[in-house]
Structure 1
C-alpha cells in the first residue's frame, strides 16, 4: 500500500514482491474505494496497518493458520533425533 500510495505502478509492485498483478489490484482496490489516491495526503504506517486490518482481517490475523502444526509438534523430539542421525 505504501509503495502504491507513493506512486509505484501495480506492475512494478507485483514484480518487486513476486505477486500477480491481479493480487496487487485486489488489495489496492480497497484503498481506491476508500478514496485514497497515489500521491495524496501522507498516511502513517500505523494508519495503514489499521486500515489493512479493517479491510482484510483474514490477512492481518497473525495467529497460526496451520492446523497440522500442533499435530506435528508432538513428534518434534523424534524428528529432531532423526535429522541429527542423518
Structure 2
C-alpha cells in the first residue's frame, strides 16, 4: 500500500475476515487494531465473537481476560 493502514482499514479487513470465517487473518487484523487503539473495546469484543462463532471457547476466555487485565470495558448497550 502507498499509505500506512489505519484503524479504519484494519477494521475493514477484520470485518471481511469475520464474514468469511478466516480466524487466522482475523487474529492478525485484531492485533493491528489493538496496537493502534489499545483501549478500544471493539477489537477485543469482535475478536472474542469470532472465536465464539468457531466454538473456540478457551480462546474467547483468553481474549476477554486480556481485555479485563488491560482495564478495557465494553460499554453497556453497545454491540
- When normalised by structure 1's length, the TM-score is 0.28
- Which one has a bigger Cα radius of gyration? 1
- When normalised by structure 2's length, the TM-score is 0.30
